Structure formats: C-alpha cells, structure tokens
Chains A and B, each alone.
Chain A
C-alpha cells in the first residue's frame, strides 16, 4: 500500500513541478533515457518538510544555476528563490492532496548547498529529473506513511482550494 501512496505522491510532485516552472515561463520536460548524460552540479536545493495525521516527509527541489536565473527576474539571492519555489511547489501538492481529503501542513523552507547533491537511490525514493533549454531541475519526496493508511481517491470536493494565480476579493 505504501508504494501506491508514494507513487501517487511522486506523480503529484512531478506534475506540479512542470506546472510551477511553466507559470514562471520556463519550459521543462522530464528527462528521457536517450538524453545526453551531463555531469551538472546542482547549485542549490530547497527543502521543505510537511506533516499530516497519516504521513510525514520532506520535499526537495534542486536545480542548476540557469533555471533559477531564468525564473527570477529580481536581484534577490538564488537561496531565497529556491526556498520560495519549494514552498510554492508544496503548496500545489497540498492543494491536490486536499482534493483527496488529506490536509498536509508545510514547514518553513530552507536552502541546502552541497557537493554531489542528489537523492539516495533506494526503495521507494524516486527522483524526477527535468531538463530545461539550459540547466536541470530535480525533485524528490522522502515520505513515510502510517502502515494502515491508503491515500483516498480524488473526489468531488465541497469546498475546493483556491487555484494558483487566482484572486478572491471579499
């Protein structure tokens, strides 16, 4: 059951990563087996934790320099921006999980720097690697679920979350 939960979560994270970068006008696509293997060092990794009653984990978003520069037109630091991107990505995932009746609570994001930064390839830890015209984006989730927990199916939500980019005035 846990594998199924994890697969659903991985897919939600990957799909929302594509949408997030598209909203910042950077087209990225999932890397394919035939793509050239480049040795690129990730510049920074945005890390944000989350909890809920039945699951808990961490979302990590790592990029090379170019995707950060191409999506941020202000003069602020890459460190600040990778944190904000991780935060917005988890916000999207949270909205999707709300449609399944699951509320996750995000923590405050932090930035991580390191040599050879990458997910550990082990059971259940799947990373999604995207390529942009210039640079690489990688996202992964390390998550634990309660043994008896099965993620509910997405259903009709009586009060769906407000969508990204939407504005409500009261």
Chain B
C-alpha cells in the first residue's frame, strides 16, 4: 500500500514538483496551501507517513505549523522535513529544536527529496 505524504506550500508549482518527485515511487501525495490547512490535514489524516513543509507562507508559516503539531501527541513523532528558500542557521536550529527531521533549500533535487522521504518513512 502506498504511503501518504503531505506537502504544505503556498506555491502550486512546488506542490506539483514534489508530487512528480514522489508519485512514481509508491507515495500518495496530499496537498495543503498554508500552515493552517497543513495542521488541519495532519489532524485529519491518521495514516500520514511524512510531511514536507515550506517556511514562508501566508496565514501560518511552516515553523509555526511545526511547533503547533508537535504539541499534539498524535503527531509528535511524525517526520516533518522543511523545504524552503531560507538557509538561515537560526531558522534551521529553530526547526531542529521543534523536532523537524530535515531541511532542504530550494530548488530541490527530486532524487534527494525522494531518498530523504524513503529514509524517514522506512519501517
């Protein structure tokens, strides 16, 4: 059975690029357009295997979403990888402290993203 991966990004193009990178490799990709939708999806989809999340988004940014979902015991251990144009060390540290499992700076290499998601969702 395919594993479910959520991509949270306000760019439809990036969401599509992630979908293309993962869909051929036995992942079903679910989309959310900002941190608010992303947090709702994490709450509602019980069998998510991983989340890929942008940082700068309207309504709720990715770091805020990360910190929010980590407070819920149900999603406390869900692998979350940040995918962003930001490379600032302080932001990376904030994500790491909040429990992110990875940080990728755009533009991403599809094979690297796929390898990371495979590693994080391996059972």
A: which residues have CB within 8 A of B? Answer: 20, 23-24, 72, 74-77, 80-81, 83-84, 87-88, 90-92, 94-95, 98, 103, 106, 108, 159-170
Contact = CB atoms under 8 A, between A and B. Distances in A.
A91 B87 contact: yes
A162 B87 contact: yes
A76 to B, nearest CB: 4
Contacts, number: 99
A162 B57 contact: no
B102 A87 contact: no
B13 interface: yes
Contact of B85 (A87, A98, A170): A87
Contact of A87 (B12, B16, B56, B113): B56
Contacts of A165: 105, 107-109, 112
Nearest to B58: A108
Question: Which secondary structure dominates where chain B touches chain A?
Answer: mixed
28 contacts: A23-B107, A72-B13, A74-B17, A74-B20, A75-B16, A76-B13, A76-B16, A80-B13, A83-B11, A84-B11, A84-B13, A87-B56, A88-B85, A108-B56, A159-B89, A161-B86, A162-B92, A165-B108, A165-B109, A165-B112, A166-B105, A167-B108, A167-B112, A167-B116, A168-B104, A169-B116, A170-B96, A170-B102
A120 B100 CA distance: 44
The 4 closest A-B pairs by CB, nearest first: A91-B85, A161-B87, A159-B89, A74-B16
B120 to A, nearest CB: 8
A20 B103 CA distance: 19
Nearest to A103: B88
B14 interface: yes
Interface in B94-123: 96, 100-109, 112-113, 116, 119-120
